[in-house]
Structure 1
Amino acid sequence: MGQNRRYPGAGMDRVIEQIVTRPRPVWLTNEEIDLEHDPAVESPTPTPAVAFVRFHEAVVRPEVEVLAWNEHAVRIRFTTRDGQKHEGWVWKDAVRSRPRRQVSPRR
């Protein structure tokens, strides 16, 4: 009694809980993408862009890579600050070309 016991499974339980409760993007469904009737065009190389990405908790606008698209949707990939990689489909109107950085003229 009064001892501080360590339970070997407790650390693993915490890791599992963190993974399960970690925020994940809300992607379009297969029905919304409708690749059967509107096939995707694959990008030969990933194209830089920015996109509104919905999470249950918030909407963010990360820098993304465009991987494919059809008339209504775009497949994107991005990495969050904590290193998580995400890939999925968003509505086409949620994606914009990445703005070019202004270079100030030399004097």
Structure 2
Amino acid sequence: KTSLMKVLLGYSDYQEGNFTSIRQDESHSNIGALIENPGLYPFMSGYDNLKLLNESNSTNPINQITDELKMNKYIHNKVKTYSLGMKQKLGIAIAFLNSPKLII
């Protein structure tokens, strides 16, 4: 399932029984995706992870997303203290972060 999702999103290519990575292009900026586990920096807070990936450099989308996902109680804690569910919710927040047209 994961490999299929990566191929559909253009993150990898499947040819003759082999998967290869593909560089992302501009079209990927319109897609937000969470496949398996999000890549997070465990010694940074969830908020700092969001700031790092926020292309607009404004805190408005971060605050709006964390409010809507009810993450405010723990968003400033280090990610290494998060439960699996909290990490997955942070991954969802990252998928929403830059207002993509499509979220998977």
What interval of TM-score do these two structures reach, taking the shorter chain for normalisation?
under 0.3
Give the helix-richer structure, 1 or 2: 2
Structure with greater strand percent? 1
TM-score, normalized by length of structure 1? 0.23
Structure showing greater Rg: 1
Relative contact order higher in (CA < 8 Å, ≥ 6 apart): 2
